[in-house]
């Protein structure tokens, strides 16, 4: 009957809340900084993995809702070079769908609608907390407070909860991803829309990447990845920058930058140290990016957060000693995250190398005869 506060209403935090309620924990609150469920547009599509994201949804009793909302065929990819030559095309044949795709918006809606009424407390941006008895008194920027026996930080890459557990900081991996979206893409960028074909494009060249994903609402979301300093900022017009930095790339790609909707978001890429460790507390822990931030170039972020939620929900409901439960969860979570982060860093370097296409084809057992 302990009160559990989850700070952050992303996929990891919402999955944990659902799993705890399914397992009989009634006193769960999710404190989310967004003003309401419609406050902002959700990002690109997510491919959920059988052993992590899908396993969590299955235990949460949400597979039927997932099947009704996922996007068949959206997991098909094309590997393309900077001159717009298609090197690998999964649309050309049958593909086993082992990592089904769902847009972030529908996934969030599924999770929100699965929760008991008033589980999510909106407009609650975390400001700080102090020890209060055996628990914590949380303070929010809107002036409200809340007591919890156990606090879980699910507040993402820029977690404020993390500092209450450890002073360890992430390190910069040497690159930035510039995020953008084109709404009504079929009308505004018809050639790119056709090239993506409802799935994903992985475009490589000159130690840079351009990753483009189709969303169910007709949007194309894209990330331009490139080597940079940690303090890189976009100076001047983004289209001028693109023409300068991607000057040898096919004109079709420029159309994304010329028709972007809502501006660009630079995302410098960081990773937590692979050997990080901290002393478990009896009433505070974290999951997802808050615990083990890493670059997105292996597609593991949301899956790891949802697997964290699954494992933490089991530990908290199966162990009688909360301190022991958190210690067990954190030990296994850190080991799992360290191995995944090591793989992700290798993948990030591979994709942003001069011979990215050749290396990627080597990973999937194909030979490349064109220009890298």
Mean pLDDT lowest for which of 112-126, 129-143, 293-307?
A: 293-307
Burial of 304 per CB tally in 10 Å (0-12, 13-18, 19+): buried
Q: Which residues, including other chains, have CB under 8 Å from residue 263's CB and lie 6 or more apart?
A: 180
Q: Which has the higher per-residue pLDDT, 300 or 63?
A: 63
pLDDT digits (tens, 9 = 90+) for 253-268: 999 999 999 889 999 9
Q: What is the pTM of this model?
A: 0.93
Mean pLDDT, rounded, of the chain: 93
In the chain the domains, ranked by start, together with CATH numbers, are 4-67+104-170+272-350 (3.50.50.60)
Phi-psi region of 197 (alpha: psi -120 to 50; beta: other; left: phi over 0): left
The confidence score (pLDDT) of residue 368 equals 43
Q: With a cut of 80, say whether residue 103 has pLDDT above it.
A: yes
What's the pLDDT band for 370 if we cut at 50, 70, 90?
very low
The confidence score (pLDDT) of residue 97 equals 60
Q: How far apart are the C-alpha atoms of 177 and 103, rounded to whole Å?
A: 20
The confidence score (pLDDT) of residue 39 equals 76
Pairs from 190-196 (Cβ < 8 Å, separation ≥ 24): 191/252, 191/255, 192/220, 192/252, 192/253, 192/255, 192/256, 193/220, 195/78, 195/80, 195/84, 195/252, 196/78, 196/220
Residues 334 and 279: beta-carbon distance below 8 Å: no
How many contiguous H segments (helices) and E segments (strands) does the chain have? 12, 17
What's the pLDDT band for 366 if we cut at 50, 70, 90?
low
The confidence score (pLDDT) of residue 62 equals 98
pLDDT digits (tens, 9 = 90+) for 133-172: 999 999 999 999 999 999 999 999 999 999 999 999 999 9
Q: Which residues, including other chains, have CB under 8 Å from residue 114's CB and lie 6 or more apart?
A: 18, 60, 61, 62, 65
Q: With a cut of 60, say whether residue 235 has pLDDT above it.
A: yes
What's the pLDDT band for 95 if we cut at 50, 70, 90?
low
Q: What's CA 169's distance to the chain center, in Å?
A: 19
Here the tokens at position 217 are: 């609402």
Q: How far apart are the C-alpha atoms of 203 and 254, rounded to whole Å?
A: 13
């Amino acid at each position: 009957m302990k009160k559990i506060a989850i700070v952050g209403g992303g996929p990891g935090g919402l999955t944990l809340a659902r799993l705890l309620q399914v397992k009989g924990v009634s006193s769960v609150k999710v404190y989310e900084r967004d003003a309401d469920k419609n406050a902002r547009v959700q990002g690109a599509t997510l491919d959920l993995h059988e052993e992590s994201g899908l396993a969590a949804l299955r235990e949460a009793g949400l597979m039927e809702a997932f099947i009704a909302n996922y996007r068949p065929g959206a997991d098909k990819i094309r590997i393309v070079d900077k001159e717009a030559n298609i090197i690998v095309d999964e649309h050309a044949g049958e593909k086993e769908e082992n990592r089904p795709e769902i847009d972030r918006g529908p996934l969030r809606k599924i999770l929100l609608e699965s929760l008991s009424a008033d589980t999510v407390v909106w407009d609650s941006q975390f400001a700080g907390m102090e020890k209060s008895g055996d628990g914590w008194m949380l303070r929010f920027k809107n002036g409200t407070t809340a007591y919890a026996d156990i606090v879980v930080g699910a507040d993402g890459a820029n977690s404020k909860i993390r500092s209450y557990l450890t002073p360890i900081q992430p390190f910069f991996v040497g690159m930035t991803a510039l995020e953008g979206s084109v709404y009504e893409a079929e009308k505004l960028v018809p050639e790119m829309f056709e090239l993506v074909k409802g799935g994903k494009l992985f475009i490589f060249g000159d130690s840079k990447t351009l990753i483009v994903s189709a969303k169910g609402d007709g949007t194309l979301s894209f990330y331009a990845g490139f080597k940079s300093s940690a303090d890189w900022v976009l100076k001047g017009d983004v289209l001028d920058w693109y023409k300068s930095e991607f000057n040898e790339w096919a004109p079709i790609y420029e159309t994304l930058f010329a028709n972007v909707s809502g501006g660009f978001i630079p995302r410098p890429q960081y990773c937590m140290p692979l050997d990080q460790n901290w002393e478990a507390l009896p009433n505070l822990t974290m999951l997802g990016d808050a615990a083990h931030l890493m670059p997105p170039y292996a597609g593991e972020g949301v899956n790891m957060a949802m697997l964290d939620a699954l494992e933490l929900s089991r530990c908290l409901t199966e162990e009688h000693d909360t301190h022991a439960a958190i210690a067990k969860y954190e030990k296994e979570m850190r080991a799992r995250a360290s191995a995944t982060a090591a793989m992700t860093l290798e993948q990030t370097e591979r994709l942003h190398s001069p011979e990215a296409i050749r290396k990627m084809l080597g990973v999937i057992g194909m030979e490349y005869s064109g220009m890298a």
